[in-house]
Structure 1
Amino acid sequence: MAPPCGGGRRWMRAVKFTLCLFFLIPMSSVGIRNTNTNFDKKQKLEVQQQLKRLNKPALKTIKSPDGDIIDCVDIKKQPAFDHPLLKNHTIQMRPSSYPEGFLFKESNNISSNSKPIITQRWHLNGSCPEGTIPIRRTKEEDLLRASSVANYGRKKYDMIPNDNPSTHEYATITEEGEGETYYGMNAEINLWNPQVQQSNEFSLAQFWMTGDNNGAIIDTIEAGMMVYFDLHGDYETRLFTYWTNDGYQSGCYNVMCPGFVQIDNRMAFGATFLPYSVYGGTQTSVNLYVFKDNVYGHWWLQVNNKYLMGYWPSSLFSFLSNSAVRVTWGGEVVNQKSGGQHTTTQMGSGHFAEEGPSRASYFQNLKVIDHEQVLRGPRDIHVTVTNPTCYNLLTHNDFFFYGGPGRSLNCP
């Protein structure tokens, strides 16, 4: 067929001229909306606005060997103070009170090997000055991986511990007693780098402290280590925290929404660790300790008996403003059952609990601060293992082994 713009009688030329205009003039200029272009512009604007909200101005920037960018942000200009309840908040640089025995000695329950010093990879290239806090910079590609720009840093799935939704598998222990309340907890967690099959799955080891309304979880504070590509863009193990005050309808990881007030300038949430534990060799671990300030009521987080990271202000919560009613420790994976098969995503070291020291993952030095303000080991615990042929757990006095490989001959 001949092109529409050429030759012919006068009336034909008029018709063809009109056709020529239709083909040559952009659709947007004749009132036909190019929806893809408008959508792309809207998405780009949303991304830029979100990046501006998340990434506060840096007084110093450090490029980590793993590709992360760590921004040293003025402590008084951190994301926490974007929360409407914290607009006039005065930073508390130290707890007004410490529970008796809040520093824990190294335990010999698991391994007698001398433990190397845990650090974060960005430390190899610098440090943040006093008066600042380190924040892992959010990049454009991070937001584009999320289901929506607004959902970045929030939980995509129902992640309530022990609720056993179809995509989640757990190996955990829980203490909760009728009328019991908790004001702190401790856990030392073995540091591994479990393999995760695909980007929308994760593997984590963490604690949960929860506040309930007639059995329904409303408030939580959580912390641990996780491998989660959709959140971080790689398959490395990273330090994380999480909180919610409305049953997981909102809340977020790390400092991706305002809430947690950080005071430490040495450790960054969302940053990678080194070194990992070695199967059959040297073991490394991270100690996480949470306790409630009995004057202001804030929930403080300390890492490795060395880094007083900061606190969740009590004003963020309803039920946790007073105390927790449940403490849970353990591992969790997301199993998307790709191809109708169980995921190969590992929990912990990827080995079952019965393999024991230097091979299986562990939680040790388990402690709670109970309603009498007594620091003690867990008791009357409830064990949850949702799929024991894929991941399992073996308990002892104040520690347990857990983990597994995921899909295998016994876990099809």
Structure 2
Amino acid sequence: MRSSTKLILLTLSTIAFFFVTESRSTIPSEEEKKELEKLLNHINKPAIKSFQTKHGYILDCIDIQKQLAFDHPLLKNHSIQLKPTYIPKWTSDNNTSQKSSSLPFQQNANISCPLGTVIIKRTTLEDLIKIQHLKTLGFNYRTSKDKRFDITGHHYALAEYYEENFGAMGNINVWDPYVKPDQFSLASISIGGGDKDTLQSISAGWIVSPNLNQHHSGLFIYWTASGYNETGCFNTLCPGFVQVSSKFALGDLANPVSTYDGQQYHLIVSIFQDRVTRDWWFMLRDEPIGYWPRSLFDVNGLANKADRVYWGGEVFSAAKRRTSPIMGSGLFAQAGFKKAAFVNGLKVIDRISRKVTSPPISALIPFANSPNCYNIETKTGDGDWYRYIFYGGPEGCTIK
């Protein structure tokens, strides 16, 4: 019998007591540990096969029908979709970029999940405490058109697109910036819908956070159906996102990553709404990773369309009087290729024509809420570089 999401959310709320400022952790009591272990039993479903990676974490092969997603009450009678009913033709020509290499995830050759299973990164007790801490620190996008979020400690450098659409893609340049405890640095594509009180959004990209994936860049998703209030979850750590891939696990660490004036690597990320089911799919290159069922959202949000897309970076630091971390490569946008971080191949699915198109350069709004610390430039060229951005900046912005 499937467990109640209410129990999971109530238990999650108890973990909030375990976070502390200035990077010192509270030791849970025996009673609190029992609650956490109970929660772990909900999150970590029985594994059919398991593998330990060279980084020390464990990947489990879980029965696709028994994954955590289906503990969500809205997915009680959900029928699993193994792949989208259609895949958008994101590239309209053969002029693909040879300047950087895609998919910097080198799956270990001895990791192979049986048919009918999906690959999930196992959550530990320590992970659970850290992840709830990260959620407590905050993960939300404040854009040039939305003033409601408390963005203390957050810095953004984004290209914003405000037109109704059915999805977007981009090649997200992967770096491995150093961050301190209670900080994160990320790059992503985000799709959003709704107004300031009903904002619903989904994001995918890479993140460096000691609370989530050690001190290395790792694959992540995040979604909310309530403006980051009642709902909000990384990866497969709460019910909702349906994993279908048996090749790539959310939370897996990127390897290799880009280097200054050296080889560049990127993630080919697309998020789009299926024409038939209206589910929102996340694909990494040509691999469907999974989807957010339409039933998770409402008509004021993402049930029928999106009304905004963001490409770019975000950094965060929790502690006051601490300097903010590196965004991207640590260099400003004007440093250019092989030095500054980029997202190229910017595409959207137009809601009216339903065709894949490059957004007009005039429709890409550059937004940096701390332009002296981090900046962004929108640019145009050819092929994958027809619409692209450079963004980023060094550590050193003081959090007041």
TM-score > 0.5, shorter chain as reference: yes
What is the one-letter code of the residue matched to 1:166? T
Identity %: 37
Q: Does residue 1:405 correspond to 2:390, yes or no?
A: no
Rounded to whole Å, the distance in 1 between the matches of 2:235 and 2:317 is: 23
Name the structure 2 match of 1:174: 160
1:239 pairs with 2:222: no
- CA distance 1:390–1:108, change in 2 (3 Å): farther
CA distance in structure 2 between the partners assigned to 1:212 and 1:132 by the alignment: 35
Is the 1:153–1:252 Cα contact (8 Å) retained in structure 2?
no
- RMSD, aligned CA: 2.3
Partner residue in 2 for 1:195? 178
Letter paired with 2:142: P
Which residue identity does 2:326 align to in structure 1? Answer: Q
The answer (yes or no) to whether the contact 2:364–2:378 under 8 Å persists in 1 is no
Partner Cα separation in structure 1 for residue 322 and residue 355 of structure 2: 46
> How many Å apart are 1:93 and its aligned residue?
1.2
Q: Distance in 2 between matches of 1:106 and 1:204?
A: 30
Task: State the AA in 1 paired with 2:177.
Answer: P
2:104 alignment partner in structure 1: 118
Return the index of the structure with the highest Cα Rg.
Answer: 1
Query: Aligned to 1:143, what secondary structure does the other structure show?
Result: helix
Residue of structure 2 equivalent to 1:322? 304
Structure 1 residue runs of 5 or longer lacking an equivalent are 1-38
2:335 & 2:95 partners in 1: Cα distance? Answer: 19
Asked if residue 294 in structure 1 is aligned to residue 286 in structure 2, the reply is: no
TM-score (norm 2): 0.83
For the Cα contact (< 8 Å) 2:280–2:291, is it kept in 1?
A: yes
Instruction: Supply the AA of the counterpart residue of 2:175.
Output: W
SS in structure 2 at match of 1:144: helix
Q: What one-letter code is carried by the residue in structure 1 that aligns with 2:211?
A: D
Q: 2:242 aligns with which of 250, 258, 261?
A: 261
1:141 paired with 2:141, answer: no
| Distance across 2 between alignment mates of 1:93 and 1:209 | 22
Name the structure 1 match of 2:201: 220
How far is the alpha carbon of 1:263 from its aligned partner?
0.9
Tell me what 1:389 maps to.
372
Instruction: Specify the alignment match of 1:24 in structure 2.
Output: none
Separation in structure 2 between the aligned mates of residue 337 and residue 137 of structure 1, nearest angstrom: 29
Deviations 1:144-189 (A, max 9, x none): 335xxxx46745325133257121000001011xxx4110100100
Q: Distance in 2 between matches of 1:219 and 1:411?
A: 28
Of 141, 144, 169, 1:186 maps to: 169
Q: Deviations over 1:28-49 (max 9, x none)?
A: xxxxxxxxxxx72210111110
CA distance in 1, matches of 2:294, 2:102: 35
Instruction: Write the distance in 2 (CA, Å) between the matches of 1:154 and 1:77.
Output: 25
Give the CA deviation at 1:301: 1.0
- Per-residue CA distance 1:65-84 (angstroms, 9 max, x = gap): 01110011011111111111
Secondary structure at the residue paired with 1:115?
strand
Q: Deviations over 1:255-299 (max 9, x none)?
A: 100111111100000110111112111111001011111111101
Amino acid at match of 2:328: G
Moved over 4 A (4+): 103-109
In the aligned structure 1, how far is the partner of 2:216 from the partner of 2:372? Answer: 26
Q: Quick check: 1:356 aligned with 2:342? A: no
Structure 2: stretches of 5+ with no match in the other structure: 1-27, 381-386
Query: What's the CA shift for 1:128?
Result: 1.7
1:399 match: secondary structure = strand
Aligned to 2:70: 81
User: How many Å separate the matches in 2 of 1:400 and 1:158?
Assistant: 22
Q: Is the 8 A contact 1:302 1:310 kept in 2?
A: yes
- Partner of 1:46 in structure 2? 35
Separation of aligned partners in 1, 2:368 and 2:302: 27
CA distance in 1, matches of 2:219, 2:102: 17
Q: Distance in 1 between matches of 2:335 and 2:114?
A: 44
Pair 1:132-2:117 in alignment: yes
- The answer (yes or no) to whether the contact 1:152–1:231 under 8 Å persists in 2 is no
1:273 corresponds to which residue? 254
Does 1:310 pair with 2:290? yes
Q: Return the letter of the residue paired with 1:356.
A: G
Query: TM-score, with normalisation over the residues of structure 1?
Result: 0.81
Partner of 1:15: none
How far apart, CA to CA, are the structure 2 residues paired with 1:264 and 1:307? 7
CA distance in 1, matches of 2:63, 2:316: 36
Which residue identity is paired with 1:199? Answer: P
